[in-house]
Each structure stands twice: as structure tokens, then as C-alpha cells.
Amino acid sequence: MTREYKRSDGRKNNQLRPIVARVGIIPNADGSAMFAFGGTIAIAAVYGPRQLHPQHMQNPSTGILRCNYDLLSFSVYDRKKPGPSRRSNEISKVTEWALAPALDLKEFPAQVVDVQIYILQADAGTRTAGINAASMALAHAGLPMKDLICSVAIGKNDKHLIVDLTKEEEDYEEGEGATDFAMAKLANHDELTLLQMDGKIQPNIIKDALKLGSEACKEVYEAQKKALKEVVKGDSDNRVASSSKSSNAQFPKRRDIIKEIIPDGGEEK
């Protein structure tokens, strides 16, 4: 493994950005959630299982999972024109492949489960945040699942293996440059469902990279579990809730995130 490496935001190699996770943010959806890694914020909604139209697309032996991922136009500094891009098309597909193994789609022949993922604010790791949000939303929708799916981006800056890269770290150019390795796995099983990599990484350190990623996924899992269980707690007190599916979710404002990075007693940036 690599020695201690100082990252520009002060994090250790294996340290994730502050996670914010909330479930039930979209009352109309069958399941919904929000997941943030630091400044990357994703929201996801699940509708289904429901009828699939047109009929000729139905598969009589199994249900279909349909994922749609996209960036909101103002989630990035250079405004993204509305409409699907090649990148969002690809990410939609790998997201579908990442999530499908957790579901038993044979229980829903001829039906569809629609997953919609949108990025409100992008600072690298958007597909991983999206998968984490979608995983919670699928569970929230009451779908039968083998496990939750957890996703993180592992990476390398020069020779140092790091976890949850920022945009700056994705653009790192010195030495061996930047490698970005997005992974997803079933939380409690050794099953990797997403593996996407760009950069320069030696085959003999993949093992370490995967170990680093799996450890980081445990933290994601804890956050997902907590967010799901909190929704139920909210329902069982004596508040007259206006909707049993909504929580008082707020998207994390920048101030909230800053509070979590700086330990108590620190000054604001």
C-alpha cells in the first residue's frame, strides 16, 4: 500500500468527503433519495414496477430496469445544454448494469422499474453518488433486493491510491498522472457490479485499489442504512405528517458541508 499522502483538501488516502444521505425527498415517487459526496449532489427517484409501453418492448420472462442519468444544466460551471449527451447515455447504461444485479427482475415479467437520477451539483464522482442515491430509492420503493449497492470512485494521483476524487484530483497531471476508477458492489457480498477506469494503473496494484474501495463502500453503506431507517422513525412519532413518504430533506447547502469538513473549533474557510 502507499504511504500517507497529503491531499489538497487535507483528507487522508482512504478518507471520503462528507456524506449526506436522505430518503423520501420526492413524495410523488414510489421511492426517492438524495446522496452527496462533498460538493457532488445527486437525487434519484424510482417509479415502478409499472406497465411498460409500448407493448412490444415488454419481455414476458423478466422485468426491465430502465435508468436515466443526467446533469442539471446548472450543476456545472459551463452550463450543460438540456438534453441527453453521449456521456449521460453511457452513464445511464452502466448505472443500470450496476444496479440490476441487486434486483430480482424475474418477479416482474413484462414490467418496468424506472430509475431517474439527476445531478444538482457536480464535483466529480457523479455516477457514484447517483448509484448510491438510486440504491436507496430502490429500497425505499419496497422492491425485493438482494442487497444495497454501494459505489465509490477510487483513484490514483501519481503513485498514490486515493478514494473519492475531487475534480481537481481527476485533473492531476504530475508523475503517473490521474487514474479514475469507479466501482460499485453489493454491500454485504463480494460482487462488483460497476468497474470503469481511465488513466494509468499497474495490474499488480488493482488488488489494493479494490480493497481500498471496498473499505470505503462500508462507510457509504452505513450512511445509506441510516438514511433509510430515519424515514421510518419519522413516521412513528406523533407528528401529523403531511406525507408519509417525505422527510424534511434539505439539499445540503454549502454552509452545511463546510461545517462538516472543519472540525469543531475550526474557522470557516
Partner 1 sequence: MSYIENENNDAHEAVSDSGYSSDSAKRFVVVPGETIIEGEDYLPGEGTRREGSKIVSSKFGLAEIAGRVIKLIPIFGAFVARRNNVVIGRVTDITYSGWLVDIDSATSGFLPIDESPRFVNRNEMDQYLSIGDVIAAKIWSVKTKGIDLTLKGKGLGKLEGGFIFKVIPSRVPRVIGREGSMVNLIKDKTRCNITVGQNGWIWIQGESIDAEIKARKAIELVSEKVHVSGLTDKIEAWFMEEK
Partner 2 sequence: MSGMEMSNLTRETLDKMFAEGKRFDSRGLLDLRDIEVTYNVSDKAEGSARIKMGKTDVVVGIKLQVGVPYPDSPEKGNLMVSGDLLPLASPRFESGPPGFQSIELPRLVDRAIRESGMIKFEDLFIDKDKVWTIIVDIYPINDDGNLIDASTICALAALKSTVFPEIDKDGKINYEKKTEKKLPLSKDILPLSFSFFKLGNSIILDPTREEEEACETRITFGISKWNSQYMLNSCQKKGVTPFTSEEIEKIMEVISKKFDEVSKKLKNFL
Please report, as ranges, the residues that interact with partner 2 according to CB under 8 A: 25-30, 32, 39, 41, 43, 45, 47, 50, 68, 72-79, 82, 114, 116, 118, 120-122, 242-243, 246, 250-251, 253-254
Region of 3-11, 48-56, 65-73, 171-179 interacting with partner 1 (CB under 8 A) = 48-56
Query: Which residues in 117-130 are b (16+ Cβ under 10 Å) and which e?
Result: bbbbbbbbbbbbbb
Phi/psi for 44 (5° steps) reads -140, 145
Least distance CB 258 / partner 2 (angstroms) = 11
* Residue among 73, 111, 112, 66 nearest 89 (CA): 66
Compare residues 65 and 124 and give the one whose CB is closer to partner 1. Answer: 65
148 binds, among partner 1, partner 2, none (CB under 5 to 8 A by kind): partner 1
Measured distance CA(178)–CA(85) in Å, rounded: 24
247 counts as binding partner 1 under rule CB under 8 A = no
Region of 36-44, 66-74, 91-99, 235-243 interacting with partner 1 (CB under 8 A) = 235-243
Phi/psi for 225 (5° steps) reads -60, -45
12 binds, among partner 1, partner 2, none (CB under 5 to 8 A by kind): none
Query: Which residues in 5-32 are b (16+ Cβ under 10 Å) and which e?
Result: eebeeebebbebbbbbbbbbbbeebbbb
Measured distance CA(22)–CA(45) in Å, rounded: 12
Residues of this chain that interact with partner 1 (CB under 8 A) are: 30-31, 48-51, 60, 102, 108-111, 139-148, 186-189, 224-225, 228-229, 232, 235-236, 238, 240-241, 243-245
